[in-house]
Chains A and B, each alone.
Chain A
Amino acid sequence: MFNILSNQLLAMTSIPELEINNLNKSFPTKDGELLVLENINMKVYKNEFACIVGASGCGKSTLLNIIAGLNQQTSGEILLEGRPVNGPGADRGMVFQNYTLYPWLTVAENIEFGLKLKGISSSERKERVDHYIEIVGLSKFAKSLPKTLSGGMKQRTAIARALANEPDILLMDEPFGALDAQTKGVLQEFMLQVWKQTQKTILMITHDVEEAVFLAQRIYVLSSRPGRIKAEVDIPLGVDRDFSVKRTELFQLVKQEVLDLLREETLKVISQEIS
């Protein structure tokens, strides 16, 4: 265990899994170009859990969509393991806020979907599905249809489906945003365990600061309209965390720091809206 962790820390300081350089994004509107993302520079290191926090409408979802290749940047580059990203691909898995399971497929078939597309043999598919369904604790529900699952179970299936593809990086767009507070808390802890167990590189978007501080090794705070990287905050809480860390003074301090940064942005947006 200790070896894994020290390897992880070593890796963090060296290879950036994802690198974004001078990225801009603007949309054409009837009043001219609207700049939504301005000069974004950021890195996510191998095996790191990074979060982007920002007020609503700051362009954080657009940024994640661009990284996933679902949206095109206006300028700048995105490098995944040094290769430029061009269009969507199975090397970047994604989990959305809304439930995106295929309702006609069972839990196991949903997880298998990407593996079939890749043309993986049926014996290996079964092995991988069994493995990841175990990780998300849904083995008993392998043959259930999504309509019979709770919201939390749906998201766990979606996470397993993205992980089963074994992407280089897992992108998550407010994955727990639609869940009730209790389920959300449990899933956050679950997400930490999954991260430690699979050693995935994860980039997650959220507007929930507590969630970001609890999960992330590093937080990027995005400013509003246009979205810029306002601050990069290292979270000094170590790799081994559980729910009790939320009660520590350090946690509260870091959380307050990020909240203050975000509050400025929110006030700015509101004053813009009023004027």
Chain B
Amino acid sequence: MKNQASSELSLPSTAVGAQTPKKSEKRRSVFWNIRSDIPNSLYYLMVSFSIVIPLFAWSLLTYGGFVDRLFMPTPGSVLMRGFELIQNGEIFQDIMASLSRVAWGFLLSAALSIPLGLLIGSFKTMEGLFAPILGLMRYMPAAAFIPLIILWVGLDEPAKIVIIFLGSFFYNVLMVSDAVKFVPSDLLKVSYTLGASRWDVFSKVILPATLPNIIDTLRVNIAGAWNFVVVAELVAASSGLGYRILQAQRFLKTDEIFVGIIVIGLIGLGIDFLFKLLFRLVVPWAIDKA
């Protein structure tokens, strides 16, 4: 077993050794260029490493027999399990259940936090009224409210939506109110000299000026909401990806846990992509030219 390991590990090390003399030429290497472009080929090589190396390590550990397959399944078995779950359609039910919870919780959170954030960012009075209490509540972890939520709201769907709401609401408010402060004050001043009333400045200047930041805020914070759906489903649920993972653990189906986690990650990536797309469509003027 040990021999096998050393022979496999020695392979990459010689490959690196062969490359070093080439790099030590007079010209400075582009590899450690600070904040500047590198050739596309090098960039995509690094991208492929970021996928291949973890996959290689995983394969090595599992196929090489270094870990018990009960604790860590092989990539092949995870893939197989994934196909099975897709074929019998179970995974789609879980995805839909989790997605709808996030959608409701986060929509509710956005619908209340965006106006509140805009108010706090625009008016010192509103900042005084809301900022201290919201600042305190932000430091209370949403997960710590779960027992209270179960007592107050119960174990059903509303409880999960409340958890997701609490997990994203305070950060949304904070970041939206900050976005207002990034609007240059000269932009507001010039609007007054063009005849704008306070309401005009709020609705026709502050609102459109902060829209790119609002979309970005939602993109960042929906990642948190997506995490909380799993937490909520771990507590009490009979469907959803979190529930699927918990069930799989009970029956020691490690491969299914892996499938669940990977699907959660991929959906998160998809949501992120959708928000970036939304940004390009809604506020094309805010895309950097560079």
- The residues of A with any CB-CB pair to B shorter than 8 Å are 65, 68-70, 88-90, 92-94, 96, 98, 100, 102-104, 113-114, 117-118, 145, 147-148, 158, 161-162, 165, 171
B208 at the interface (CB under 8 A from A): yes
Give the contacting residue for B194; candidates A90, A104, A147; CB below 8 A.
Answer: A90
Known: A96-B189, A117-B200. A102 touches B208 (CB 8 A): yes
The answer for the CA separation of A96 and B189 in the assembled complex, in Å, is 9
14 contacting pairs across A/B (C-beta < 8 A): A69-B192, A69-B193, A100-B184, A100-B190, A102-B209, A103-B209, A104-B285, A104-B286, A113-B194, A114-B195, A117-B194, A117-B196, A145-B285, A148-B289
Chain B residues within 8 Å of A145, by CB: 285
Interface residue tally of chain B, by bracket?
20 to 34
Residue of B nearest to A71 (CB): B189
B187 at the interface (CB under 8 A from A): yes
Residue of A nearest to B187 (CB): A100
- The residues of B with any CB-CB pair to A shorter than 8 Å are 184, 186-187, 189-196, 200, 204-205, 208-209, 211, 283, 285-286, 289
Asked whether, in the complex, the Cβ of A104 is within 8 Å of the Cβ of B193, the reply is: no
Asked whether, in the complex, the Cβ of B184 is within 8 Å of the Cβ of A98, the reply is: yes
Chain B residues within 8 Å of A158, by CB: 190
Give the contacting residue for B193; candidates A90, A98, A148; CB below 8 A.
Answer: A90
The answer for the CA separation of A171 and B194 in the assembled complex, in Å, is 12
Chain A residues within 8 Å of B193, by CB: 68-70, 88-90, 92-94, 162, 171
Asked whether, in the complex, the Cβ of A103 is within 8 Å of the Cβ of B194, the reply is: no
The answer for the CA separation of A147 and B190 in the assembled complex, in Å, is 18
Chain A residues within 8 Å of B190, by CB: 94, 96, 100, 158
Asked whether, in the complex, the Cβ of A90 is within 8 Å of the Cβ of B286, the reply is: no
The answer for the CA separation of A68 and B196 in the assembled complex, in Å, is 13
